[in-house]
């Protein structure tokens, strides 16, 4: 499947060098996309810039109608979108179907929310003035999106940006450009005017540089690693670019003595092994209070041992491939470091490498200590390290000992304790007896080095709006 880039409503890039897209489960080439560079990115930005006056002039109701149409088309296309996603990034087909619905929910929710972008009037301190606050779209948005959620991480940005009246240039991850292109095809079919959405594929550096330095781009929105986020923040500093950053995480899971074990086991399975552990909010380290530790470990191991690893296109697979060799090597480095320092492997502990494909078995480690790499760095794989703790206070102390602050999870049946712990955790998202907290209507984002700003919910559209204060002298 050979695809083109989408600029100003035209499919183009036939003349450019082609980049191969491969299936991480088989190593096969599944298609090609053009290697767009600075020139193509500049053309896309110019198209978005020219489309902005007309698009932003539409009423929220008119923009909503386009988004509703896009939503319907995405729901009709669940199957082909899901298959494409599994082919290019490996997650099991059932999870891909779930992701398409999750992705579409952002389009639907912001189709509605765009109608509720309210300003306000402020009581004046003098009789001869009136004070008004209005909102207006920021302008052209440059979006850089990751491979782990090839559709949802685009629509979580696209939905609010378009609803707010912004126009959009997206650079999808090198690993998953085909899903992004399919979304652009649906935007075209929904009749979204030319230039409002543009997709550029190619190497990250030149495309990123153009997005970050072109003065016509008013906002950058990025989902990816903290390391790359820091680089983008530096690149955008000269123009004081408006930036939203959804960066890495190192989510702790706190399981207290009074937890409901069924809830803790089932939700931790999801929080840890969803997408093969390759999400920013995946539980990365598990702290279990001594009184419940052994029972939790036994039941968690029993449940995780049923998970099947393999090609996500096949029936019954729970964990697909690791995205690439670097990802695999990092996972294995974390496991080997923990084992060398005294961790005990109670499940898995090894990978499967065949040619250019990399899989890792669901792995559970106990007797884990705070200094191990896995307790400090994001693993992005199906590894669950468990550390025994002696109290709620100790669990909170370890949980907060990190520069990350994206998501944390706590299991307790005691209401007062749950609230107390949730308030003390320095994280943007806390799942209390809930391993899958994400939803279109809820704010998603991190504290500390996990990011700037929030996506989803009412907060998510604010990122694409400027606040204007108008004072009127009578």
- Rounded to whole angstroms, how far apart are CA atoms 467 and 456? 19
| Cβ atoms of 335 and 374 closer than 8 Å | yes
Among 187, 281, 335, 396, binds ligand SIN (CB under 6 A): 281
Given the residues 246, 289, 392, 455, the one annotated as active site: 246
- Rounded to whole angstroms, how far apart are CA atoms 3 and 90? 20
Using rule CB under 6 A, residue 179 touches ligand SIN: no
Place of tokens 């992005």: 380
Q: Which residues of 199-229 are buried (b: 16+ CB within 10 A; e: fewer)?
A: bbbbeeebbbebbbebebbbbbbbbbebebb
- The answer to whether residue 246 is catalytic is yes
Among 167, 223, 226, 366, binds ligand SIN (CB under 6 A): 223
Q: Across-strand partners of 409?
A: 253, 431
In the bound complex, what is the minimum distance in angstroms from residue 223's beta carbon to ligand SIN? Answer: 6
| Cβ atoms of 141 and 438 closer than 8 Å | no
- Rounded to whole angstroms, how far apart are CA atoms 363 and 340? 15
- Nearest alpha carbon to residue 444 among 251, 192, 302: 251
In the bound complex, what is the minimum distance in angstroms from residue 435's beta carbon to ligand SIN? Answer: 11
Place of tokens 């059932």: 94
Using rule CB under 6 A, residue 55 touches ligand SIN: no
Question: In terms of CB distance, is 168 or 380 closer to ligand SIN?
Answer: 380
Near ligand SIN in 420-439, by CB under 6 A: 438
DSSP letters for 166-221: -EEEEE--TT-HHHHHHHHHHHHHTTPPTTSEEE--B-HHHHHHHHHH-TTEEEEE
In the bound complex, what is the minimum distance in angstroms from residue 149's beta carbon to ligand SIN? Answer: 5
In the bound complex, what is the minimum distance in angstroms from residue 438's beta carbon to ligand SIN? Answer: 3
Among 6, 149, 296, 409, binds ligand SIN (CB under 6 A): 149
Using rule CB under 6 A, residue 109 touches ligand SIN: no
Q: How many CB atoms lie within 10 A of CB 467?
A: 11
Using rule CB under 6 A, residue 7 touches ligand SIN: no
Using rule CB under 6 A, residue 155 touches ligand SIN: no
Using rule CB under 6 A, residue 226 touches ligand SIN: no
In the bound complex, what is the minimum distance in angstroms from residue 106's beta carbon to ligand SIN? Answer: 10
Question: In terms of CB distance, is 201 or 279 closer to ligand SIN?
Answer: 279
Using rule CB under 6 A, residue 148 touches ligand SIN: yes
Using rule CB under 6 A, residue 357 touches ligand SIN: no
- Rounded to whole angstroms, how far apart are CA atoms 155 and 180? 10
Q: How many CB atoms lie within 10 A of CB 63?
A: 23
Given the residues 95, 99, 113, 280, the one annotated as active site: 280
User: x/- site string to ligand SIN, residues 379 to 418, per CB under 6 A?
Assistant: ----------------------------------------
Q: Strands 357-360 and 242-246: what pairing?
A: unpaired
* Number of residues located near ligand SIN, criterion CB under 6 A: 9
Using rule CB under 6 A, residue 366 touches ligand SIN: no
Using rule CB under 6 A, residue 280 touches ligand SIN: yes
DSSP 8-state symbol, 275: G
Q: Which stretch binds ligand SIN (CB under 6 A): 78-86, 113-121, 134-142, 279-287?
A: 279-287
Q: What is the dihedral of CA 427, 431, 437, 440, to 10 degrees?
A: -60
Using rule CB under 6 A, residue 32 touches ligand SIN: no
- Nearest alpha carbon to residue 76 among 151, 186, 196: 186
User: x/- site string to ligand SIN, residues 245 to 264, per CB under 6 A?
Assistant: -x------------------
Q: Which stretch binds ligand SIN (CB under 6 A): 28-36, 276-284, 341-349, 370-378?
A: 276-284
Positions that interact with ligand SIN (CB under 6 A) = 148-149, 152, 223, 246, 279-281, 438
Which residues carry out catalysis?
A: 246, 280
């Amino acid at each position: 499947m050979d695809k083109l880039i989408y600029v100003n409503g035209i499919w183009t890039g036939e003349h450019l060098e082609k980049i191969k897209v491969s299936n991480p489960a088989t190593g096969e080439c599944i298609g090609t996309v053009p290697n767009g560079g600075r020139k193509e990115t500049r053309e896309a930005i110019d198209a978005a810039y020219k489309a902005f006056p007309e698009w932003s002039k539409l009423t929220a109701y008119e923009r909503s109608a386009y988004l509703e149409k896009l939503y319907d088309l995405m729901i009709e296309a669940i199957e082909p979108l899901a298959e494409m996603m599994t082919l290019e990034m490996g997650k099991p087909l059932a999870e891909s179907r779930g992701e398409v619905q999750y992705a579409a929910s952002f389009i639907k929710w912001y189709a509605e929310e765009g109608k509720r972008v309210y300003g306000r009037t402020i009581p004046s301190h003098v009789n001869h003035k009136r004070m008004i606050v209005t909102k207006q779209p920021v302008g052209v948005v440059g979006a850089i999106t990751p491979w782990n959620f090839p559709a949802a991480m685009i629509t979580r940005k696209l939905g609010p940006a378009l609803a707010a009246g912004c126009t959009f240039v997206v650079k999808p991850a090198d690993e998953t450009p085909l899903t992004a292109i399919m979304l652009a095809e649906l935007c075209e079919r929904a009749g979204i005017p030319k230039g409002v959405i543009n997709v550029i594929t190619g190497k990250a550096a030149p495309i990123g540089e153009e997005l970050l330095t072109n003065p016509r781009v008013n906002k950058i929105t990025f989902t990816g690693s903290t390391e790359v986020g820091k680089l983008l923040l530096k690149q955008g500093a000269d123009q004081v670019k408006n930036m939203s950053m959804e960066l890495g995480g190192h989510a702790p899971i706190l399981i207290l003595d009074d937890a409901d074990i069924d809830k803790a086991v089932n939700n931790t399975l999801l929080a840890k092994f969803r997408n093969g552990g390759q999400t920013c909010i995946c539980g990365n380290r598990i702290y279990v209070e001594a009184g419940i530790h052994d029972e939790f470990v036994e039941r968690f191991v029993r449940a995780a041992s049923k998970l099947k690893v393999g090609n996500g296109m096949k029936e019954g697979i729970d964990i697909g491939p690791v995205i690439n060799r670097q990802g695999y090597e990092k996972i294995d480095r974390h496991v080997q470091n923990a084992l060398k320092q005294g961790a005990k492997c109670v499940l898995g502990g090894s990978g499967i490498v065949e040619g250019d494909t990399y899989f890792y078995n669901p792995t559970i480690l106990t007797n884990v200590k705070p200094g191990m790499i896995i307790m400090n760095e994001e693993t992005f794989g199906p590894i669950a390290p468990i550390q025994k703790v002696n109290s709620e206070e100790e669990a909170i102390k370890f949980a907060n000992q990190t520069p990350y602050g994206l998501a944390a999870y706590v299991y307790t049946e005691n209401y007062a304790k749950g609230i107390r712990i949730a308030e003390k955790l320095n994280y943007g998202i806390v799942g209390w007896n809930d391993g899958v907290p994400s939803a279109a209507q809820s704010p998603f984002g991190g504290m500390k080095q996990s990011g700037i700003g929030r996506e989803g919910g009412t907060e998510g559209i604010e990122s694409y709006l400027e606040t204007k204060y108008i004072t009127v002298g009578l």
